[in-house]
């Protein structure tokens, strides 16, 4: 039988008429043929009627689609008019709605093209990318595409799609785009995002059900300073010299590409509600035994971050295991990896007083109230930083004035580098609560730490454990959302000095050998502005201080900040008098800017400049309470091929 499915309705009617005529003409020949033809005509007539009904439905659907397209065109015109006359053109935000792109839904492994029935309608963007900035207006959104055009995104008021954790083809942190707090996630090109490990928009590949995303940058940075500190663009404030050292009196220039970085994320969908991902981030910041600054400058490849993460959007549960930024590190949105609130500075040590560490952890996080309230618990690697001023320290075996030995650490062996590793009886325990209301991001946190050592003499010994810890918080205030923000953070307690950039000590020892946690406080404040998509401007102030903990035994002075220590020679170059000068505080004030002068499909090229002033004050001892300062100029060029 001739297939009629591809004929138009007009042609079908003509064929039906000719069939009828043919059956009439054949009626005079025989009754049998007449009957057969009649049945054939009835069958064809039924098929044609069904096909006509199907075509009518298709035409009705086409009319509905035309109405939808007309509505979209009206929305586009309205948004363009609003942006043009309201002066908001080019103002990106990342607030508010789940975005499921047609392209992403088709390509993301394990993601369906249809929304689950019974769920509120989510925003649908035709073409484009989930990482594109969004504006909201009159309950809807518009998407600024890379070519400058504006495309509408229609959203429900309280949408919560079942696949909100897995629909991101290129948005690696979909939940971070949900919090309507005026802060939003890091702009990917900013130095703060780069420090936190932001991934790029380019360099996305698929290997079966796993998506691979490349990130990183090539970095060429320099520093010119009025003191000689052989640490490059990584400030080690504890080595800032006093006038008794000749390097206090000479300038220093140093440049390197060692902080260039590469990252890789592997991400796969477990089911419609959950994903599992792994993140690798490396640079060349380590100095190997073969590294020299005269010929090869062969710095070693090192691990910055290396962790796996599991996210479940049905239970609103998040788990992380591996080396990542400590949960004490301030954040921008919820408690989400790669959304840490880190300074935009060029110096790789970031800022005096900045709270951070990168270390092994097992992090458990639950969010509530549509991703606005977050509770986290993290079990993290502990490492007590001791000060043993006044004692004789022989690779972690400290000789006490009573003749006993306190063992506080041992040098690494085997595959571990030959450096001190402290004795630890338990990991650090960190808890955090984060809140994302309609304006700003707020955090409160606490930590428990347990310094531990063993005091022994011949034939006997005893272990000692102290309880240390503290608390703090941070906030990000979007003074002008996505344009100007204020960041404030602080941490105070005892035995937690290593969580600050200055690396002030956690503990010292009593003359009898027991560990004594040292009080410390650290704080930072900054103003960051993004006057346009190409420029970032920032200013920061940071402060970190350590208290005194000291003791005496006979005529000896021990501990940290002991007033009996001699500082008589700190102010005279090459003096033979003493200069103990335990650090009391370090402050830093800095301003800088970044300019992205090339940006396109090939990536982003940016340049940065920074001015910094630091001051170090020592605890008063016999003779003086010395201080020193340092001024620095940083310059940097970066190429971000994946952003």
Cβ-based neighbour number of residue 25 at 10 Å = 10
598 in any annotated domain: yes
Q: What is the DSSP letter of 331?
A: B
CB 131 within 8 A of CB 142: no
Instruction: Give residue 296's pLDDT.
Output: 87
164 in any annotated domain: no
Quote helix, strand, coil % in the chain, to nearest 5.
Answer: 15, 45, 40
Q: Which of 371, 509, 385 is nearest to 438 (CA)?
A: 371
Q: Which of 483, 488, 376 is nearest to 442 (CA)?
A: 488
146 in any annotated domain: no
**Structure token pair of residue 376:** 């986290």
Number of domains observed in the structure of the chain: 1
Min mean pLDDT across 52-56, 551-555, 559-563, 615-619 is at 52-56
Query: Is the pLDDT confidence value at 208 over 80?
Result: yes
Query: Is the pLDDT confidence value at 283 over 80?
Result: yes
Contacts of 1 (CB under 8 A, 6+ apart): none
CB 425 within 8 A of CB 472: no
d(CA 160, CA 320): 23
Q: Cite the beta strand spans of 395-440 per DSSP E.
A: 397-399, 405-407, 409-411, 420-422, 428-435
DSSP H helices in 131-280: 191-196
**Structure token pair of residue 140:** 């809807």
pTM tops 0.85, yes or no: no
522 in any annotated domain: yes
Mean pLDDT within 329-352: 94
Rg of the chain on CA atoms, in Å: 33
Domain, as residue range, for 473: 171-640
CB 452 within 8 A of CB 464: yes
**Structure token pair of residue 196:** 């936190």
539 in any annotated domain: yes
Buried b / exposed e along 327-361 (16+ C-beta atoms within 10 A): bbbbbbbbbbbbbbbbbbbbbbbbbbbbbbbbbbb
Q: Which of 140, 69, 130, 68 is nearest to 100 (CA)?
A: 130
Q: Which residues pair with 141 in a beta bridge?
A: 136, 153
CB 390 within 8 A of CB 558: yes
Q: Which of 297, 294, 227, 289 is nearest to 259 (CA)?
A: 297
* Residue 556: CATH number of its domain: 2.40.160.10
d(CA 85, CA 631): 46
Contacts of 214 (CB under 8 A, 6+ apart): 199, 200, 202, 203, 204, 205, 262, 263, 264, 642
Mean pLDDT within 111-120: 33
Q: Which of 355, 303, 352 is nearest to 324 (CA)?
A: 303
d(CA 359, CA 357): 6
Mean pLDDT within 538-561: 95
pLDDT in tens, 61-76: 777 777 777 766 766 7
d(CA 387, CA 404): 18
- How far is CA 186 from its chain centroid? 8
Looking up tokens 């595409």 gives 145
pLDDT in tens, 404-418: 999 999 998 888 888
pLDDT in tens, 497-539: 999 999 999 999 999 999 999 999 999 999 999 999 899 999 9
Backbone angles phi, psi at 252, to 5 degrees: -150, 135
549 in any annotated domain: yes
**Structure token pair of residue 286:** 């380590």
152 in any annotated domain: no
DSSP H helices in 87-189: 102-107
Min mean pLDDT across 249-253, 418-422, 526-530, 630-634 is at 418-422
Mean pLDDT within 263-289: 91
d(CA 445, CA 170): 31
CB 446 within 8 A of CB 490: no
In this structure, the strands spanning 204-207 and 150-153 are: unpaired
121 in any annotated domain: no
């Amino acid at each position: 039988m001739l297939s009629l499915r591809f004929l138009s309705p007009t042609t079908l009617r003509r064929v039906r008429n000719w069939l009828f005529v043919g059956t009439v003409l054949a009626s005079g020949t025989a009754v049998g043929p007449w009957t057969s033809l009649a049945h054939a005509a009835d069958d064809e007539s039924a098929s044609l009627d069904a096909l006509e009904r199907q075509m009518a439905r298709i035409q009705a659907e086409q009319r509905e689609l035309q109405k939808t397209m007309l509505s979209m065109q009206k929305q586009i015109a309205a948004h363009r008019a609003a942006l043009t006359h309201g002066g908001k053109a080019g103002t990106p935000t990342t607030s508010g709605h789940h975005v499921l792109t047609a392209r992403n839904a088709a390509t993301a492994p394990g993601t369906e093209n249809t929304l689950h029935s019974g769920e509120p309608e989510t925003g649908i963007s035709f073409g484009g990318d989930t990482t594109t900035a969004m504006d909201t207006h009159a309950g809807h959104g518009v998407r600024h595409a890379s070519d400058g055009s504006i495309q509408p995104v229609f959203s429900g008021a309280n949408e919560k799609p079942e696949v909100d954790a897995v629909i991101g083809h290129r948005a690696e942190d979909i939940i971070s785009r949900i919090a309507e707090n005026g802060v939003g996630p890091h702009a990917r090109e900013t130095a703060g995002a780069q420090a936190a490990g932001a991934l790029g928009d380019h360099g996305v590949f698929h290997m079966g059900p796993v998506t691979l995303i490349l990130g990183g940058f090539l970095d060429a940075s320099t520093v010119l300073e009025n003191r000689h500190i052989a640490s490059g663009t990584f400030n080690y404030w504890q080595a800032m010299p006093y006038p008794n050292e000749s390097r206090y009196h000479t300038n220093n220039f140093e440049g390197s590409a060692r902080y260039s970085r590469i990252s890789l994320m592997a991400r796969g969908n477990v089911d419609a509600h959950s994903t599992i991902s792994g993140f690798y981030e490396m640079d060349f910041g380590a100095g190997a035994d073969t590294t020299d600054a005269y010929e090869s400058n062969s710095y070693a490849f090192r691990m910055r971050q290396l962790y796996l993460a599991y996210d479940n959007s049905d239970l609103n549960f998040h788990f992380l295991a591996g080396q990542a930024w400590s949960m004490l590190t301030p954040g921008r949105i919820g408690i989400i990896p790669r959304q840490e609130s880190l300074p935009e500075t060029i110096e790789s040590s970031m800022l005096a007083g900045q709270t951070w560490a990168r270390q092994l952890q097992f992090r458990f996080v639950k969010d509530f109230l549509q991703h606005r309230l977050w509770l986290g618990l993290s079990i993290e690697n502990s490492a007590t930083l001791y000060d043993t001023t006044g004692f004789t320290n022989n690779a972690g075996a400290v000789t006490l004035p009573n003749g006993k030995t306190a063992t506080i650490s041992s040098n690494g062996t085997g595959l571990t580098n030959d450096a001190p590793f402290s004795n630890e009886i338990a990991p650090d325990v960190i808890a955090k609560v984060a809140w994302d209301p309609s304006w700003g991001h707020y955090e409160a946190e606490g930590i428990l730490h347990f310094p531990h050592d063993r005091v022994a003499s011949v034939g006997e010994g005893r272990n000692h454990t102290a309880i240390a810890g503290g608390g703090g918080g941070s906030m990000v205030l979007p003074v002008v959302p996505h344009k100007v923000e204020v960041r404030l953070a602080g941490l105070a307690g005892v035995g937690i000095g290593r969580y600050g950039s200055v690396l002030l000590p956690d503990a010292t020892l009593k003359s009898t050998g027991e560990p004594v946690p040292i009080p410390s406080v650290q704080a930072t404040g900054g103003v960051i502005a993004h006057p346009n998509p190409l420029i970032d401007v920032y200013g920061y102030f940071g402060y970190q201080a350590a208290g005194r903990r000291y003791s005496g035994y006979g005529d000896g002075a021990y501990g940290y900040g002991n007033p009996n220590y001699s500082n008589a020679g700190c102010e005279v170059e090459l003096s033979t008098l003493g200069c103990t000068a335990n650090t009391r505080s370090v402050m830093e004030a800095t301003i800088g800017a970044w300019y992205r002068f090339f940006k396109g499909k090939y990536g982003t090229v940016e340049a940065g400049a920074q001015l910094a002033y630091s001051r170090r004050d020592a605890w008063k001892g016999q003779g003086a309470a010395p201080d020193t300062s340092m001024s620095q100029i940083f310059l940097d060029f970066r190429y971000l091929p994946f952003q």
